Amino acid sequence: MKCKLMGNTPSISSCPCGVLPDGTPVEAWTLCSGVGLEVEVITYGATVTRLLSPDRNGKSADIVLGFDRLDDYRGGHPYFGAVVGRVAGRIANGLLRIGNETFPLDRNDPPNHLHGGPDSIERKVWKARIIDRPDKAPSLELTCHSPDGENGYPGAVDLTVRYTVTSDNELIFETVASSSRATPVSLTQHSYFNLAGEGSDTIEDHELQILSKRIFAVDETMTLLDEWKPVEKTAASFETAKPLRDAIPGLWKQHGDLYWLGGTGELRAVASVREPRSGRIMEVATTLPCLQLYTSVSLDGTLIGKSGQPYLPFSGLCLECEGYPHATAGGEFGDILVHPDKPQTSTSVYTFSTDTTLSGQ
């Protein structure tokens, strides 16, 4: 990829990214805030491939994991930067229940169904167009269609995501879903962040705060058990910010948990991450009720990133804003069903800044 970045001017531009084996062209789009934040998105998977943000000294670095070549995104990788769905997360035993009906889904993470199944929307080429906003912030809209029955899901679904960068160095991620029948949709943006810079050391020194008192219980196969448990006095408690190295040994399989944020539907702050050496800070706000923490423990060095360095365990950090995967009947866990007469929307905002008072100056 590596399209030309636009520096100090708010802008949006595109360039060719490559061609799939069937001849379908893929584009790379660059959004520049004009005050330091630059984001590259490719139409394959609506994937964030680069995110440049300045450190406390004004030096920019790419802070998301990923690849330089389209072919690497077409190969096997753990959803680097992609939009995942139809339903992000795990559906227990691959059985989707809607009312009195049960739909068997592909168990691509045995015994469960994960992130919409194999070759889902992260493998589609989305259609892109520029969006005009009143504030003139660079904004890109991408759309794709998921036909009835794809990976076992009922109903044809039209999906829209929008990426916007603002003069406040915000990356706004918005979703819209409409469907031909009642069916679940819960999209998430699946970037792996390393605020020290992609290819740097691990994220173990990152200081994480998550504004939640509860996580969802799972069994040994990460199957959701549809019940909460408190994080108080456990490694999973991040109500007060702490370095990840202090928490990872005590997390479930060193993986991270699914946090309950509450089902208000309002945009509110839910998490923040600080990297002491660079001074970079990322704050996360969302309208969604859940946040999945993933420490990238499963990276094993077989994937080589943009810097030429192998991605080892804890090379990046995921904070995935999403709905609860089993929330198809309403109630205490929310509701991820989309109905024909009512499109579903969500907003998540990632705000980047620096703090000169942190250690490591």
What percent of the chain is modeled with pLDDT above 70?
97
Buried b / exposed e across 12-49, counting CB within 10 Å, b at 16+?
A: bebeebbeeeeeeebbbbbbbbbebbbbbbbbbbbbbb
The catalytically annotated residue of 40, 320, 322, 326 is 320
255 is catalytic: no
Which pLDDT value is given to residue 361?
45
Q: Which secondary structure element, helix H or strand E, spans residue 190, and what is its range?
A: strand 188-190
Q: Is 110 exposed, middle or buried (0-12, 13-18, 19+ CB in 10 A)?
A: exposed
Alpha-carbon span 54 to 38, nearest angstrom: 10
190 is catalytic: yes
User: What are 151-205's pLDDT values in tens digits?
Assistant: 999 999 999 999 999 999 999 999 999 999 999 999 999 999 999 999 999 999 9
Whether the Cβ atoms of residue 202 and residue 312 lie closer than 8 Å to each other: yes
Q: Which is nearest to 52 in space by CA: 63, 42, 67?
A: 63
Give the number of other Cβ atoms within 10 Å of residue 221's Cβ. Answer: 12
The catalytically annotated residue of 190, 198, 275, 326 is 190
User: What are 253-310's pLDDT values in tens digits?
Assistant: 999 999 999 988 999 999 999 999 999 999 999 999 999 999 999 999 999 999 999 9
Domain ranges of the chain: 11-354
CATH number of 11-354: 2.70.98.10
User: What are 100-140's pLDDT values in tens digits?
Assistant: 999 999 999 999 999 999 989 999 999 999 999 999 999 99
Give me 209's structure tokens. 């705060």
Cα 312 from chain centroid (whole Å): 19
Alpha-carbon span 120 to 100, nearest angstrom: 26
Better pLDDT: 9 or 46: 46
